[in-house]
Amino acid sequence: MSDQMVTALGAPPIEPIAPEMPTITPEPGKRERSASLWADAWRLLIRRPSFVIPGLFLLVIFSMGLFPKLWTSQDYRACDIANSRKSPSWEHIFGYNINGCDYWAHAIYGARPSLLISLSATVGIVLIGSVIGMLAGFYGGWLDAILSRIMDIFFALPFLLGAIVFLVVVKRQDVVTISAILIILGWTTVARIMRGSVLSSKNLDYVQAARALGASNARLMIRHVLPNAVAPVVVLATISLGGFVTAEATLTFLGVGLVPPQASWGIMISQNEAYFQEYPLLLIFPCLFLVGTVLSFILVGDALRDALDPRLR
């Protein structure tokens, strides 16, 4: 029946009733989901075996470096030439090396300097590269031009060759020296990535709104630009941890890195590569630690990249 017919009969026209929108209420005992990038990324990461498994392996490696006595009661410096090249057993699961030292203990204590160099170098390149990249990208102009040319100069230096030359000239082969040289040669990549992220973030609407409200440049950089530009740097830093572990082992193998009586996986490889044909386990064991650690850092970095980039979800 049309509205005209209803009106002719004296009845008021029927008004259409708008459908009620369902109200969504959170289930009792549950919190609302956080909308932050990092919270969403964490929820994705803990469901991925490609992140959880290498993450657990890295926890084991870090526990070896921090608390080696939890993993062995032997002293890697307590050597007896009578035990030279003895096969693995239940008491000494990696056997003995050429000098009669417990090889498992050497591998456990070798994790600390390798990880210490890797962590120190990564923290250094992140701090220096982030500051320089932030200033270059945010201010632009002549400051960006000068800082970019400095980056180009350091980019022109071959990483491995430059590290070898610096270590030969300095003639100090310890954790501090190696870490410092890796920082000097490695900060440029972080600076370039941070600069690009800042350039894409500083002109966003919320940054311009904060600027219009009178926020200072320091506040804009720290509170508004940095949180949205740091994600690519975090991914690069995770992958760089594995790269610096490899760099330490490579420099040590070439004879310009750590030296005995210090312990490291690079020393284990360099000391026993000549005996690979007769005693392959002496080379296989440290290589397994080295490859497993580097691969785990790379897998964790790839998982972080996928989780922090909405386009890859």
Q: 218: pLDDT confidence band, cut at 50, 70 and 90?
A: confident
The pTM is what?
Answer: 0.81
Q: Is residue 18 part of a domain?
A: no
| Residue positions counted in the chain | 313
Q: What is residue 261's predicted lDDT score, i.e. its pLDDT?
A: 81
Q: Is residue 278 part of a domain?
A: yes
Q: What is residue 30's predicted lDDT score, i.e. its pLDDT?
A: 46
- Range name among 44-58, 112-126, 168-182, 203-217 with the lowest pLDDT average: 203-217
Q: Is residue 231 part of a domain?
A: yes
Q: Is residue 6 part of a domain?
A: no
Tally of structural domains, the chain = 1
Q: Is residue 240 part of a domain?
A: yes
Structural contact between residues 34 and 40, judged by C-beta atoms closer than 8 angstroms: yes
Which residue range(s) make up the domain with 105?
Answer: 36-312
Which tokens in the block code for residue 146?
């000068």
Condensed to tens digits (0 to 9), the pLDDT of residues 141-172 reads 899 999 999 999 988 888 888 999 999 998 88
Query: Within a 10 A sphere around the Cβ of 112, how many other Cβ atoms?
Result: 19
Q: What is residue 81's predicted lDDT score, i.e. its pLDDT?
A: 79
Q: Which CATH number goes with the domain that contains 237?
A: 1.10.3720.10
Asked whether the predicted pLDDT for residue 310 surpasses 80, the reply is no
Q: 6: pLDDT confidence band, cut at 50, 70 and 90?
A: very low
- Range name among 53-62, 239-248, 256-265 with the lowest pLDDT average: 256-265
Q: What is residue 35's predicted lDDT score, i.e. its pLDDT?
A: 55
Distance CA 208, CA 97 (A): 63
Q: Is residue 27 part of a domain?
A: no
Angle at 278 (CA atoms; ends 276, 282), nearest 5 degrees: 50
Q: Is residue 26 part of a domain?
A: no
Q: Is residue 7 part of a domain?
A: no
Print burial letters for 200-233: b (CB count within 10 Å at least 16), e (below 16): ebbeeeebeebeeeeeeeeebbeebbbebbbbbb
